[in-house]
Amino acid sequence: MKLTGSEIFVEALKREGVEVIFGIPGGVVLGLYDTLYRQDDIEVILTRHEQGATHAAEGYARATGKPGVVLVTSGPGATNTVTGLANANMDSVPIVVFTGQVSTGLIGNDAFQEADIVGISRPCTKYNYLVKDVNDLAQTIKEAFYIATSGRPGPVLIDIPKDVSQNKADYKPIDKVYIRSYNPTIQGNQWQIKRAAEAILRSKKPIIYAGGGVVSSNASSELKALAEAFHIPVCMTLLGLGGFPGTHPLSVGMLGMHGTYWANMAIHNSDLIIAIGSRFDDRVTGRVADFAPQAKIIHLDVDPTSIRKNIHVDIPIVGDAGHVLADLNKVLHAKGEGDWGKIREPWLKQVEEWKKKHPLTYRHDAKIIKPQYVIEKIYEITGGDAIVVTDVGQHQMWTAQYYKIDKPRRFLSSGGLGTMGYGLPAALGAQIAYPDDLVIEIAGDGSIQMNIQELATAVIYKLPVKVFIINNRYLGMVRQWQQLFYEGRYSASVLGQKPDFVKLAEAYGAAGLRAKEPNEVEGTIKEALKIKGPVVVDFVVNPTENVYPMVPAGGAINEMIFDDPVKAKEATSKKGKTEDSIQTA
């Protein structure tokens, strides 16, 4: 039967199981929005900015594993999605973004609200399309969802000219798609898997380095089975948190620039690194020349271009983490008889000694709120049972350090691009996906203002997200680097005390709370959790608190700063002691 392009668009989305679309309408997509208005299967969420729509789709996708969908208009509507596209591309998040375009006959004529979004977005999408014929629309949508969700997930953009959405064509549902030039490798090479198994069985000091690929491939159970059976400690990247339980005895937490001392020391001193779904980012490796000098490296990743891009590896395995780990576990159990608890006991004891030597610590203060204390209290009060979303900055690192994530898809953050403004809209996407779950966003006073207009979206759609702002009146991470490496010249990093976040929350129709002293923190968190709707909590914290431990730029990951030497000296002279003035997390 003949349908308009707009009708084909909606029918194709239904066949992909799409339940929600995030976006903002505009002239060239009014036909698409009108068709969406006349159906009941797909919910349309009107955000207040196209970047917010894209991040919301990311939050939905990361929380569910299903692709997030965005629909925006041409020109500025399309260009406003670029940051979200780049973020999803860096972090391997499956989203499909539909942008409107001027009619095909006007393309290239600088028509009103025309932008070459295909050209603009090409470097930051997994693939993109300009649909020039309505007869190609259904096939293009099917291919887009397949590309976005298979292999290494990522964003796909489809640009739809206005006349394509208006023209009619015979609609035939597309059930299968085959792209000759695109065939991701899912099953790992069996010979390489055998080599990896042999290396693991020979190793005396192995460590698993788990990245976001463990989460996106749903490989958490296979990873846990490997670690437990062969007593191998597990460290995680920021995006890998939750891929292995954070409270598990074999978890050594996050590695890298602000990772735990014991995770970094285990990596540096290991004889075998089993890297799964990770890409050896510079924030993980530190100085590449001195990264894990004694270790052989197994690198398992579905994306062949990520292997050996930054670090030489000895045993590369291309394939889906879930499938490869299942095969690897079978080979290991067939070959690996032995008392692995006893065999690995000296190595695990060494890791535990590193943990005792430099645990996560911060200086307690009875008069001023420490941000680490806020995170600890949020974790304690929620029992770790929340979907936690962060923005980017110091609060992001403190959350990664002090909030233990035990399940996959329960920690959402911007990793590769480090996008301030990601957190609030991503939290809304997660809340829409799981309306009955507690969703918490932890933000900085700088990052929350990047997309704070999405509070209106939270209020209008009755999304009970709890926004906890770590308010230090600075661009905190910038200030920390300026303090440590630029002699305290705080150039353009001072935010001051504006705005009043409580009044701002109330202006949007949300609840606003504030805590200024440590004894107010626990009660304020509990009060926020009792309120049914969206809540903004302003925690006025120590403005000069730094994130430690820290690997300075250009340093090796075993070269870590544990405190500001000047502050440490001052604390020692005032109190006559150091250890007793440090609160251990």
User: What is the tens place of the pLDDT at every residue in 376-427?
Assistant: 999 999 999 999 999 999 999 999 999 999 999 999 999 999 999 999 999 9
- Is 50 labeled as catalytic in the residue annotation? yes
Both tokens assigned to 583: 């609160």
Of 257, 265, 397, 477, catalytic: 477
Examine residue 333 and state whether it is found in any structural domain, yes or no.
Answer: yes
Examine residue 114 and state whether it is found in any structural domain, yes or no.
Answer: yes
What domain range includes position 534?
361-584
Whole-number percent of the chain with pLDDT over 70: 96
Q: Nearest-CA neighbor of 480 among 548, 560, 555? A: 548
In the chain, count of helices (H) and strands (E)? 24, 22
Both tokens assigned to 116: 């070459």
- Is 113 labeled as catalytic in the residue annotation? yes
pLDDT reported for residue 207: 98
* 150 and 261 together in one domain: no
Where does a domain end: 112, 135, 170? 170
Examine residue 347 and state whether it is found in any structural domain, yes or no.
Answer: yes
Examine residue 461 and state whether it is found in any structural domain, yes or no.
Answer: yes
Which helix (H) or strand (E) covers residue 284, if one does?
helix 282-285
Of 7, 50, 114, 545, catalytic: 50
Q: What single DSSP character describes residue 366? A: S
Of 126, 142, 162, 466, catalytic: 162
Examine residue 177 and state whether it is found in any structural domain, yes or no.
Answer: no
* 21 and 47 together in one domain: yes
Both tokens assigned to 10: 């909606």
Of 112, 309, 345, 567, catalytic: 112
Provide the CB-side half-sphere exposure for 300 (13 A, CA).
Answer: 35
List Cβ neighbours of 398 (8 Å cut-off, separation of 6 or more). Answer: 371, 372, 375, 470, 547
Residue pair 158/96 in contact by the 8 Å Cβ criterion:
yes
* 521 and 429 together in one domain: yes
**Residues 203-215 pLDDT 10s:** 999 999 999 999 9
Examine residue 181 and state whether it is found in any structural domain, yes or no.
Answer: no
Where does a domain end: 296, 331, 354? 354
**pTM of the shown model:** 0.95
The SS3 assignment for 562 reads coil
Pairing of strands 234-236, 206-210: parallel
Residue 184 phi/psi, 5-degree rounding, is -60, 145
How far does Cα 566 stand from its chain's mean position?
34
* 440 and 580 together in one domain: yes
**Residues 68-87 pLDDT 10s:** 999 999 999 999 999 999 99
* 123 and 195 together in one domain: no
pLDDT reported for residue 565: 56
* 150 and 203 together in one domain: no
Residue pair 287/556 in contact by the 8 Å Cβ criterion:
yes
Where does a domain end: 170, 202, 227? 170
Q: In the 3-class helix/strand/coil scheme, how is 307-348 assigned residue by residue?
A: CCCCCCCCEEEECCHHHHHHHHHHHHHHHCCCCHHHHCHHHH
Confidence class of residue 349 from pLDDT cuts 50, 70 and 90? very high
Whole-number Cα distances in Å, 58 to 8, 128, 177, 221, 293: 24, 17, 24, 24, 37
Residue type, 171: Y
* 391 and 453 together in one domain: yes
Residue type, 405: I
* 385 and 252 together in one domain: no
Cα separation, 330 vs 336, in Å, equals: 10
Of 11, 14, 19, 113, catalytic: 113
* 206 and 63 together in one domain: no
* 166 and 209 together in one domain: no
Both tokens assigned to 465: 């997200």
List Cβ neighbours of 40 (8 Å cut-off, separation of 6 or more). Answer: none
Average pLDDT over residues 21-42: 98
- Is 1 labeled as catalytic in the residue annotation? no
Number of domains in the chain: 3
Q: In the 3-class helix/strand/coil scheme, how is 222-267 assigned residue by residue?
A: HHHHHHHHHCCCEEECCCCCCCCCCCCCCEEEECCCCCCHHHHHHH
* 372 and 350 together in one domain: no
CATH number of the domain within which 241 lies: 3.40.50.1220
CATH number of the domain within which 30 lies: 3.40.50.970
pLDDT reported for residue 571: 39
- Is 477 labeled as catalytic in the residue annotation? yes
Both tokens assigned to 466: 């709890």
Examine residue 389 and state whether it is found in any structural domain, yes or no.
Answer: yes
Provide the CB-side half-sphere exposure for 336 (13 A, CA).
Answer: 23
Examine residue 180 and state whether it is found in any structural domain, yes or no.
Answer: no
540, exposed or middle or buried, with CB in 10 Å at 0-12, 13-18, 19+? buried
pLDDT reported for residue 568: 41
List Cβ neighbours of 526 (8 Å cut-off, separation of 6 or more). Answer: 381
* 79 and 206 together in one domain: no
